Amino acid sequence: MSTTDPIVNKPLHVTVNGIEQPVEDIPEQLMMLDYLNEYRNLTGTRFGCGIGVCRACTVIVDHEDGRSEEIRTCITGAHYFEGKSIRTVEGHAERDENGDVAKLSEVQQQFLDHFSFQCSYCAPGFVNAATVLVERLQREPIPRSQLEATISDALESHLCRCTGYVRYFRAVRAAVLAMPGTTVEG
């Protein structure tokens, strides 16, 4: 008796970077990372460790109540995202009518200005994590004195094998401080 289940396809409804994706039949056991890379040709989301440790595969889930959340796509099935809206690293910059990048997000620009990227493999995860942090602080500002510790808490689970942590850290701090309403005195 086979103990392996046959592969079953199911339709997936998901919004990526503000665009409802064409509904396709997707294997029910496909990981979200493979869906993005192979079905949507969104290759910015990276396969790193494949076991949910390095977080290069992190995307953002946008909840209806305005909260945004990090999710690791290498260990989360595509159908987990049924009916959900997500953002990938391709979705942060403003684009012109031709679809070309017109203006980077504050986080992306600060990463460039601080030379945070080296090999860039972990960058999509860091961009998404930092964006989630900035958005959280815009909703729930913190005292300025807690900023450094808050950044560390938010980013410490993301791995950078080039060890670019200090420049990531400085870039995120600069991004937070450049955005009004994220911190209060204290």
Interaction between residue 77 and another protein (CB under 8 A): yes
- The end-to-end CA distance of the chain, in Å, is 66
Residue from 76, 105, 109, 120 in contact with another protein (CB under 8 A): 76
Site for another protein in 9-28 (CB under 8 A): 28
Q: Please give the C-alpha separations between residue 134 and each of 110, 138, 180, 186, in angstroms, as whole numbers.
A: 13, 6, 10, 18
Interaction between residue 46 and another protein (CB under 8 A): no
Which residue bears the tokens 């070309």? 100
Which window, 13-21, 39-47, 71-79, 134-142, contacts another protein (CB under 8 A)? Answer: 71-79
Residue from 13, 52, 109, 118 in contact with another protein (CB under 8 A): 52
Site for another protein in 141-170 (CB under 8 A): none
Interaction between residue 53 and another protein (CB under 8 A): yes
Give the Cα separation of 97 and 7 in Å (integer): 40
What would the DSSP string read from start to end of 11-30? EE--EETTEEPPPEEEETT-
Interaction between residue 65 and another protein (CB under 8 A): no
Interaction between residue 3 and another protein (CB under 8 A): yes
Give the Cα separation of 167 and 7 in Å (integer): 44
- Pairing relationship of beta strands 19-20 and 15-16 according to DSSP bridges: antiparallel
Interaction between residue 64 and another protein (CB under 8 A): no
Interaction between residue 41 and another protein (CB under 8 A): no
What x/- string results for residues 79 through 118 when contact with another protein is judged by CB under 8 A? xx--------------------------------------
What would the DSSP string read from start to end of 158-182? S--TT--HHHHHHHHHHHHHHSTTS
Residues that bind another protein (CB under 8 A): 1-5, 28-29, 31, 51-53, 74-77, 79-80
